[in-house]
């Protein structure tokens, strides 16, 4: 094909969430992955319910091996509210089902060919790098989210389910400031935090290789457990 006929990639500013299952080989080996898929399908049903085709709002998603991704058509505040809710729901359900996971939500340019599972752009790189550089079981909003929302009507500082990551060593990314994380602060039963219970249960069964991740998660929850 003539190079002059090759169309340039069309990047679009989007919200993008990345989830990584920890110890994926063991999940498959012990058939625990069978517990993940119903949760995934349940959350995907929620996405379908919340999609708004008329206003061109909605979330696309894909899954390959130990990685789950979600992304929007654009980068509006309304789309942030939608993907944040669904991403947090996915993370919460996995943790409460004692499936170890870490995730990140970011915003940036993204090129997609969903039918071919092709995803390129700074949003993917940012979400992946922050996702991989978390030494715990957590769901974070990257500094790109903080900067993007600060320019609009949504302020992270006032969101009920998030707080800054205030434990040293959790975020090993070169830019660890302005990272907000799900605070594990809803769903308490009789004054007991169900996320802490699930994390301690997973910690008791985890190999030494992952022990620090559980210790960091426990510290974060206990720091301001409500």
Q: Is the pLDDT of residue 116 over 70?
A: no
Query: What is the rounded average pLDDT of the residues 84-103?
Result: 91
Q: What pLDDT is recorded for position 134?
A: 95
Tell which wins on pLDDT, 187 or 197.
197
Q: What pLDDT is recorded for position 28?
A: 63
Flag whether 2 is in a domain.
no
Q: How far is CA 217 from CA 1, 65, 154, 200, 202, in A?
A: 52, 24, 27, 9, 11
Q: What is the DSSP letter of 186?
A: S
- Decide: helix, strand or coil at residue 141: strand
Task: Name the nearest CA neighbour of 41 among 58, 24, 56, 61.
Answer: 61
Q: Is the pLDDT of residue 1 over 50?
A: no
CATH code: domain of residue 132: 3.30.70.1230
Q: What pLDDT is recorded for position 151?
A: 74
The pLDDT tens digits for 28-42 are 666 666 777 787 777
Query: What is the rounded average pLDDT of the residues 184-189?
Result: 83
Number of Cβ atoms within 10 Å of the Cβ of 171: 23
Query: What is the rounded average pLDDT of the residues 215-220?
Result: 96
- Decide: helix, strand or coil at residue 66: coil
Flag whether 4 is in a domain.
no
Q: What pLDDT is recorded for position 203?
A: 93
Query: What is the percentage of the chain residues whose pLDDT exceeds 70?
Result: 81
Tell which wins on pLDDT, 65 or 87.
87
Flag whether 1 is in a domain.
no
Q: What pLDDT is recorded for position 164?
A: 93
Tell which wins on pLDDT, 175 or 148.
148
Q: What is the DSSP letter of 99?
A: -
Position 24 confidence tier, pLDDT thresholds 50, 70, 90: low
Mean pLDDT for the chain overall: 83
Domain that residue 31 falls in: 9-223
Q: Is the pLDDT of residue 147 over 60?
A: yes
Q: What pLDDT is recorded for position 109?
A: 92
Q: How many structural domains is the chain composed of? A: 1
Position 2 confidence tier, pLDDT thresholds 50, 70, 90: very low
Q: What pLDDT is recorded for position 39?
A: 77
Flag whether 157 is in a domain.
yes
The pLDDT tens digits for 39-82 are 777 777 776 666 565 455 678 888 877 888 999 989 998 899 88
Q: Is the pLDDT of residue 111 over 80?
A: yes
Tell which wins on pLDDT, 81 or 5.
81
């Amino acid at each position: 094909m003539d190079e002059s006929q090759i169309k340039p990639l069309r990047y679009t500013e989007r919200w993008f969430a990345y989830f990584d299952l920890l110890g994926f080989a063991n999940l498959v080996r012990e058939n625990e992955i069978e517990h993940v898929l119903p949760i995934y399908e349940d959350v995907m049903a929620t996405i379908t319910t919340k999609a708004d085709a008329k206003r061109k709002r909605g979330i696309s998603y894909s899954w390959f091996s130990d990685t789950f991704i979600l992304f929007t058509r654009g980068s509006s505040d309304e789309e942030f509210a939608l993907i944040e809710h669904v991403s947090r729901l996915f993370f919460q359900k996995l943790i409460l089902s004692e499936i170890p996971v870490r995730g990140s939500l970011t915003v940036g340019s993204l090129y997609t060919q969903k039918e071919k599972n092709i995803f390129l752009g700074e949003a993917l790189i940012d979400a992946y790098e922050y996702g991989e550089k978390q030494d715990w079981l957590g769901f974070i909003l990257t500094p790109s989210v903080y900067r993007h929302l600060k320019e609009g009507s949504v302020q992270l500082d006032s969101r009920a389910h998030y707080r800054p990551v205030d434990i040293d060593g959790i975020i090993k990314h070169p830019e660890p400031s302005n990272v907000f994380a799900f605070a594990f602060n809803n769903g308490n039963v009789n004054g007991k935090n169900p996320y802490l219970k699930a994390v301690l249960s997973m910690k008791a069964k985890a190999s030494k290789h992952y022990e620090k991740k559980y210790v960091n998660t426990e510290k974060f929850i206990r720091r301001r457990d409500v």
